[in-house]
Amino acid sequence: MTRDNPTDAQRAKLLDANADRCCVCKRPNLGLHLHHIDGNSSNTVDSNLAVLCVEDHDRHHRPGPYSTSVNHLDLSAEVIAEHKRSWEAFVIEAREDAPTVIATLAAYGTVESIHSFKLVMQWPDERIEYERSFHLLAANPDRLTDEIIAEVQAIGPHLKLVFLSEPLPIEYCPCCGTGYSRTVKPALVARLTDPTWEIDSACTIYVNPKQASLAISIFLREAHLFSGSLHLCQGRFLHYANDYYDERVPVRKSPSVRAQATAIIRSVIQEWAPATLLIGTGNHDSPTLIEDLNLPCCWETSALTHHSTGPARKGRAGR
Ligand SMILES: [Zn+2]
């Protein structure tokens, strides 16, 4: 078996296909090697060559120094092949004009004192492809933000970067690269990445005319993306449940219960920004369309009489 080194053109092509990053840790500029995945150095075809940084290359061949446990399996040929396949596919998608993959930036610490940032790149199904931590200890926050934006653009010029509001508590800090990573739910990825959202999205709200409850759904073309429901619970709580969370907010003395309920639904509409808004009442199957979100008077009478409003809804909405 004779060693067959990749040509310069092949090396350039593979580095480009990997966005000049190690396909395992995604770090750039760390002395990238082309590694023969099957261990056969005469098998120099593209599919057998993985772009690896010095550290990950070493970790594959000499796992010992990087761990006290037996971890040779951590970076086996199969694992490297999977990293290569997944990362190269991600880079192709990220370079599309309207990528379906997305990048998010989360802050760690408190609003007053941000400690670090974590950049995550994910597939629409929330599978994480890339994670990298940035610490604020020494860096100037503005310069660090510029660096993070440049990093996203280096992977895909049209890749959307979403800033996740509200910092995560310090205990989730990504210091060791093992911290908690937030991802964006598939429905919201569609909302953020679909190029025809402003034309093809719709929100339907069905207002129950007899009791203080309503259901809200979001659609993109024929796909049902999201559902939520709101009802007045024991006359004392506004209970809003959706596919992702469930919360009961105590009713305040003012403004009116209807106004408080309307505000919750308006914020949902604002978040999704649907192209079309349909509000119906009456029969669920053939609702009567109404002009605006005018909640019927049962929202007020229920509050006054403290009687329960329909079946208790727990967990996911729309059942
Ligand atoms: Zn690496």
Q: Indicate which CATH number applies to the domain containing 137.
A: 3.30.420
Domain around 120: 102-190
Q: Domain check: are 72 and 113 in the same one?
A: no
State which of 123, 158, 190 marks the end of a domain: 190
Last residue of a domain, one of 94, 115, 141: 94
Range name among 10-19, 223-232, 290-299 with the lowest pLDDT average: 290-299
Q: 39 C-alpha vs ligand 1 centroid, how far in Å?
A: 18
As a whole-number percent, the residues of the chain with pLDDT over 90 amount to: 52
- Measured distance CA(216)–CA(237) in Å, rounded: 18
User: Which of 51, 67, 94 is the last residue before a domain boundary?
Assistant: 94
Q: Which of 118-122, 281-285, 288-292 has the highest mean pLDDT?
A: 118-122
> What pLDDT is recorded for position 143?
82
Share of the chain above pLDDT 70, in %: 82
Q: How far is the CA of 145 from the centre of ligand 1 (A)?
A: 23
Q: Answer yes or no: do 84 and 135 share one domain.
A: no
Measured between alpha carbons, how far is residue 169 from residues 111, 130, 142, 308 in Å? 10, 21, 21, 37
**pLDDT tens column, 170-224:** 556 555 555 667 788 899 999 999 999 999 999 999 988 888 999 999 999 989 9
Condensed to tens digits (0 to 9), the pLDDT of residues 18-60 reads 999 999 999 887 789 999 999 999 999 999 999 999 989 888 8
On whether both 212 and 292 belong to a single domain, the answer is yes
Q: Residue 264 Cα, ligand 1 centroid: separation in angstroms? A: 46
| Domain presence at residue 108 | yes
* Mean pLDDT computed over every residue of the chain: 84
Residue 131 Cα to ligand 1 midpoint, Å, equals 12
In a domain, 170, yes or no: yes
Q: How many domains does the chain have?
A: 3
Q: Do 44 and 137 lie in a common domain?
A: no
Q: Which has the minimum average pLDDT: 11-25, 118-132, 137-151, 181-195?
A: 137-151
CA of 61 to the centre of ligand 1 (A): 13
CA of 253 to the centre of ligand 1 (A): 58
Looking at residue 204, its pLDDT comes to 92
3-class secondary structure, 126: coil
Pairwise CA distance, residues 29 & 51, whole Å: 11
- Residues 283, 217 share a domain: yes
The verdict on 68 and 35 lying in the same domain is yes
Residues 208, 186 within the same domain: no
CB 215 within 8 A of CB 205: yes
Residues 20, 41: one domain? Answer: yes
- The environment of the single-atom ion ligand 1, i.e. residues with CB closer than 5 A, is 22, 24-25, 53, 56
Ligand 1 centroid from CA 161, angstroms:
23
Average pLDDT over residues 112-121: 85
Q: Is residue 312 part of a domain?
A: no
> If pLDDT is split at 50, 70 and 90, which confidence band does 317 have?
very low
Q: Based on the fold, state whether residues 120 and 25 are members of the same structural domain.
A: no
